[in-house]
Amino acid sequence: MKIVSFFAGAGGLDLGFQKAGFNVIWANEYDKEIWETYEKNHSDTYLDKRSIVNISSDEVPDCDGIIGGPPCQSWSEAGAMKGISDKRGQLFYDFIRILEAKQPKFFLAENVSGMLLGRHSEALTNIKELFKNAGIGYELSFEMLNACDYNVPQDRKRVFFIGIRRDLKFKFQFPKSNFKKITLEEVITDLKDSVLPALKFNKTNGVECKFPNHEYMTGDFSSIFMSRNRVRTWKEQSFTIQAGARHAPIHPQAPKMKFIEQNIRIFEPGKEHLYRRLSVRECARIQTFPDDFIFYYNSVVAGYKMIGNAVPVNLAEFLAKSIRNQIIQNEVMLQNLHLSNNKINVAV
């Protein structure tokens, strides 16, 4: 089945769908800092580099599915939470505009859990209705998932809209996960002793990294960062990998931060040297990108952003396989029903 991808970023969602057997034929990403990474890791996919606002639906290839994660800053609890009143939040409408014109068998849209906050309830209801009524209409399934339940070593809550075109006559069912929780120890232990700090001004070490992208941002930690414990142990899952480099979790080699008073913690005295941010590659591992997926950037800040904005590959693959299987099962059922009806008509 052929897929087109909007707001593709580095392509975590796209890679998950490819691993599930889909063919991502066309993708769209407006951020020029990401283009090299996407094109070198998705060499068989055509990348359109314009804003979705400037793309006519006629310029988008016909496809079986449309996937994407419209920018989430407008809905984030860590941001201004302007929602649909922010121009970035309004990009949902362009996603729906193209969906309505192309009428693929299905779509998937992902966003942050902040969309569920009460202040966004009216906008969320409107978006759901627009999805349901796009073209001939879609049967919409909507759910919040935590990536840690889907073979991803990270607490990461995100909402997913999955729609099946109404004439296919079924509704997508989010399957239950039976994965065991994966710990930080299982995914990044081998990288512990080969990491490099970023160069001056947090520029990349480039080919000097012993392992691709295995370098971390240096610099001070903000008072907001120091207001909470930012360390998960080896036996736990990571905190959410965010797009902001300054918010990267601390490596599990460090002790948990020491509580002083409300909203104030410190690094354990005498062990300050153990407190470093997770490296770009460690964040990529936690987002379940394979090691041969290389991120290209001049500043490590851009590396963290690409990875933090991505959908974890393993979660994307799980959902993609579920969509594919349910579509195929439905097609088989309809074919069998058609054959059965033909036999009845012949007998009569």
Question: Which residues belong to the active site?
Answer: 72
Long-range contacts (CB closer than 8 Å, 24 or more residues apart) made by 136-141: 136/103, 136/165, 136/166, 136/167, 137/165, 137/166, 138/106, 138/107, 138/163, 138/164, 138/165, 138/166, 139/163, 139/164, 139/165, 139/166, 139/170, 139/171, 139/172, 141/171, 141/172, 141/173, 141/174
Q: Which residues make Cβ contacts (< 8 Å) with residue 132, sequence separation at least 6? A: 138, 139, 140, 163
Residue with tokens 């309830």: 121
Task: Give the torsion sign (CA, 45, 49, 52, 57).
Answer: negative
